[in-house]
Amino acid sequence: IHNLDMINAGANIIDVGGESTRPGSKTVLTNVEWKRIESFVKNFKKKHKKICLSIDTRKSEVMVKAINHGADLINDVSGFNYDNQSLLRLKKYNVAKVLHHMQGTPNSMQNSPKYKNVLLDIYDFFENSIKKIDNKKIVIDPGIGFGKNLKHNLTLISKISLFHSLGF
């Protein structure tokens, strides 16, 4: 029902996930994560063909299952680093990806995050990560609040245009 309210309010993308990535959250087993979203994912495109279905997961098995049921976008908060099979398994699908930056894991990311230079460190992360992605259907997300303190977040927000030079 919440997704219908969002669509009726004009949402073009619905992002769904079965594992919390809030600070301090614990990893969920792959089968548990899929069970949490399975019914929603399997039925979404039957009712909402024109709405982008984004899957928020760090696990390649969940990514592939969701793509096989019409998912349009994969949103991995780990930057495709949690599951070393993710990019390899996604090569056969022409699916868009959110390349997200996060320092650490959801469980540890807010334990005193440190950067030499938050802007340049994240820029370098994106530059190196983009090279690993076969198709260039990429959205970059600097991960405000994901392994950053208030100063890091404010710097990123105020200088966000730096990332435009990456072309995504």
Dist CA 104 CA 78 (whole Å): 8
pLDDT at 91: 94
What does the block give as tokens for 42? Answer: 């399997």
Dist CA 163 CA 159 (whole Å): 8
What is the per-residue pLDDT across 8-21, written as a single tens digit (0 to 9) for each?
898 999 999 999 98
What would the mean pLDDT of 90-109 be, rounded to a whole number? 89
pLDDT at 24: 80
pTM of the model: 0.90
Dmax of the chain from CA atoms? 47
Over 80: is that where the pLDDT of 1 sits? Answer: no
What is the per-residue pLDDT across 30-59, written as a single tens digit (0 to 9) for each?
999 999 999 999 999 999 999 999 999 999
pLDDT at 30: 96
Q: Which residues contact 49 (CB under 8 A, 6 or more apart)?
A: none
Burial-class residue 90 by CB neighbours within 10 Å (0-12, 13-18, 19+): buried
pLDDT at 112: 84
Phi, psi of 157 (to 5 degrees): -65, -45
Dist CA 144 CA 151 (whole Å): 11
Distance between the two ends of the chain, CA-based, in angstroms? 32
What is the per-residue pLDDT across 105-157, written as a single tens digit (0 to 9) for each?
778 778 888 999 999 999 999 999 999 998 899 999 999 999 999 999 999 99
Instruction: Find residue 140's DSSP bridge partners.
Output: 99
pLDDT at 117: 96
Dist CA 116 CA 99 (whole Å): 21
For residue 73, give the nearest of 83, 63, 65 by alpha carbon. Answer: 63
